[in-house]
Amino acid sequence: MSAEGRPPDVVGSTLDDARARLAAAGWGAVEVTETRPPRRVLRPPWRVVRQRVAAGGRVLLVICGEHADPAERDPDRGTPGE
């Protein structure tokens, strides 16, 4: 954890840039979770849409892909109306 007590704001950054900035600031413990619209498959580049600090000095990042094919569906989530 950084001596400042707060990590740099990386919301809006790509995941790679966010990890690099956090590591450079002394925040090595980073946990990443993906979010996406229902029944959609999103593709990189991944962007940070939310950030917070958890117990133990871990930085929690929520990411979302920037690109999706409108017809592309996640087969694990079924189709609309199922």
Going residue by residue through the chain, which has 82 residues, state the pLDDT in tens, using 9 for 90 and above.
544 589 999 999 999 999 999 999 999 999 999 999 888 888 899 999 999 999 889 999 999 998 876 665 556 655 444 4
Of 42, 81, 38, the C-alpha closest to 64 is 42
DSSP per-residue letters across 11-28: TTSBHHHHHHHHHHTT--
Residue 7 lies in a domain: no
Tokens of 1: 């954890």
Residue 19 lies in a domain: yes
Tokens of 38: 């229902």
Residue 59 lies in a domain: yes
Residue 34 lies in a domain: yes
Domain that holds residue 51: 15-68
Residue 1 lies in a domain: no
In angstroms, rounded to a whole number, what is the distance separating the alpha carbons of residues 59 and 29?
6
Residue 81 lies in a domain: no
Residue 62 lies in a domain: yes
Domain total of the chain: 1
